[in-house]
Amino acid sequence: MIGQEYTIVAQYRNHMNKETHVARKEAQRRIYEMHAQVCSVLSNAKRLEIINLLRDGEKTAGDLTKEMEIPKTNVSQQLGILRDKGILTSRREGQRIYYRLSFPKMLKAYDLLRQVLIERLQEQGDVAARIQGKTP
């Protein structure tokens, strides 16, 4: 009887482990999908600029238009995409709509990637200098 109970418990644990593994895999796949969606939204230079400009707090489309020096229609279009994808949130105050980052924590990833790109440019500059016979 004890052996039979042990077998039933072992089978149950094995079954639960398989279910947990499948659930984990599904969760990982969902995260990969979400990550890809965010990266897709961030594949536009103007959207990245907007994110950077919003790092210090909320701004209106007019504020961003002045800082970016591009037409307001372009800024509004990019803001709409960022808001629709959950990167930005907005609030209305009278006639004005203020935008801010939904998750300011994402700036850590933004800054890290930016630093990697700067280092890459520096390395390319060093290579170019060596090719030209100059020491970096």
Structure tokens at 64: 């961003």
The answer to whether residues 61 and 82 belong to one domain is yes
Distance CA 105, CA 87 (A): 11
The answer to whether residues 66 and 81 belong to one domain is yes
Buried b (16+ CB within 10 A) or exposed e, 96-110: ebbbebeeeeeeeee
Per-residue pLDDT tens digits for 4-25 = 666 776 676 776 677 787 888 8
Q: What's the total number of domains in the chain?
A: 3
The answer to whether residues 35 and 53 belong to one domain is no
Per-residue pLDDT tens digits for 79-103 = 999 999 999 999 999 999 999 999 9
Predicted local confidence at residue 74, as pLDDT: 97
Which of 90, 4, 92, 78 minimizes the C-alpha distance to 42? 78
The answer to whether residues 51 and 89 belong to one domain is yes
The answer to whether residues 98 and 109 belong to one domain is no
Predicted local confidence at residue 17, as pLDDT: 72
The answer to whether residues 95 and 77 belong to one domain is yes
Predicted local confidence at residue 2, as pLDDT: 59
The answer to whether residues 2 and 22 belong to one domain is yes
User: What is the span of the domain harbouring residue 7?
Assistant: 1-41
Per-residue pLDDT tens digits for 28-60 = 999 899 889 888 999 999 999 999 999 999 999
The answer to whether residues 96 and 117 belong to one domain is no
Q: In which order are the strands placed within the sheet that holds 59-60?
A: 59-60, 96-101, 88-93
The answer to whether residues 22 and 34 belong to one domain is yes
For residues 102-130, give the mean pLDDT: 88
Which of 60, 54, 56 minimizes the C-alpha distance to 97? 60
Predicted local confidence at residue 21, as pLDDT: 72
The CATH number of the domain holding residue 90 is 1.10.10.10
Predicted local confidence at residue 110, as pLDDT: 93
Predicted local confidence at residue 12, as pLDDT: 65
